[in-house]
Copies of this chain bind each other. A is one copy, B any other.
Amino acid sequence: MFKKEVTVYSPATVANMVCGFDILGFALDGPYDRLTIRLTTERGVSIRNFDDFNLPVEPEQNVIGGALLAMLQVLEEGIGFEVDSTKIIKPGSGIGSSAASAAGAVVAANFLLNNRFSKLELVGFAMYGEKVASGVKHADNIAPAIYGGVTLIRSTDPLDIISIPSPRLFVTVLHPLIEVKTSSAREILKKEIPLKDAAVQWGNVAGLIAGLMKNDYELIGRSLVDIIIEPVRSILIPGYYEVKNCGLAAGALGGGISGSGPSVFMLSRDIETAKKVELAIISEYRKVGIAFETHVSEINYQGIKIVIH
């Protein structure tokens, strides 16, 4: 017997985690999108939006649709999905809005199908949603949304996802209300980089993984350094270094650009520091003159939450 309807809360995520361009990401407790999915007996996907973002409802043009249509490819006849989507995570914020939709949809659908797919398979389906959003089937927001915690995407082909244990970490996010298209943020990157810079970067990646797994906050902080992507992409974020420096001064371990921006995140070892960092950033960013939002959250170790009706 299948359950006929389920609701999930699908969280925002931070991709790249400073030095881990394209390979690391983690999930936040909030903000999150809400999706309610019903099984139908007619092959296909129908989508209703309960928000003001005017996202397309044609499944081929919708992130949720892209993900669920990929799943339908391997399902028998007589199965379809109706989706009610209430998006809270603003599209284009750089904290995994499209991933929350795509990952939430496949996790909810899988629940209705009695969990016949593995998490790894769900990531594979949800990546088709990312393709609708940005043209690229990347997994660095999808994987942490589905697995929770810090996740490593060692390889996307074949897909190889590894959960990285970590100590408790608290996240302060600044979202400047400007648009940075993922595609533009990719285009401005240099296609070639110096080998010696790459070696510095993989030293920091190695240090970050070791720091997370050793619960060594100091090492985590020292390793949160990006000499490749940050110098280029930060140009698209007004006041970037001022925000980062005031976050560090307020006690954050480190931080950087969330995904391809414009959001900026800082990591702290406790909630009090994360809130101090938020206050410092608010005060600093007011000087920049761009509207913004902030969020404070613990890293979400559970991933997407399923609510049974």
Contact = CB atoms under 8 A, between A and B. Distances in A.
A195 B154 contact: no
Contacts of A200: 155
Contact of A154 (B21, B24, B189, B222): B222
Nearest to A154: B207
A198 B20 CA distance: 11
A199 B164 contact: no
A23 interface: yes
A210 B23 contact: no
A256 to B, nearest CB: 15
B213 A210 contact: yes
A209 B200 CA distance: 16
A125 to B, nearest CB: 21
Contacts of A206: 20, 23-24, 152, 154, 162, 205-206, 208-209
Contacts of A153: 203
Contacts of A20: 202, 206
Given A23-B199, A23-B203, A223 B193 contact: no
A248 to B, nearest CB: 17
Contact of A207 (B152, B190, B204, B228): B152
Total identical chains: 2
B23 A152 contact: no
Contacts of A191: 194-195
A78 B199 CA distance: 42
A76 interface: no
A187 interface: no
A81 to B, nearest CB: 33
B162 A210 contact: yes
A22 interface: yes
A166 to B, nearest CB: 11
Contacts of A201: 198, 202
A192 interface: yes
Contacts of A203: 22-23, 152-155
A251 to B, nearest CB: 21
22 contacts: A19-B202, A20-B206, A21-B199, A21-B202, A23-B203, A152-B206, A153-B203, A154-B206, A154-B223, A155-B222, A162-B206, A162-B219, A191-B194, A191-B195, A192-B192, A192-B194, A193-B198, A198-B198, A201-B202, A206-B208, A209-B209, A209-B213
Interface of A: 19-24, 152-155, 160, 162, 164, 189-195, 198-210, 213-214, 219, 222-223, 228
The 10 closest A-B pairs by CB, nearest first: A154-B207, A198-B198, A23-B203, A202-B202, A209-B209, A192-B192, A202-B205, A22-B199, A213-B213, A154-B203
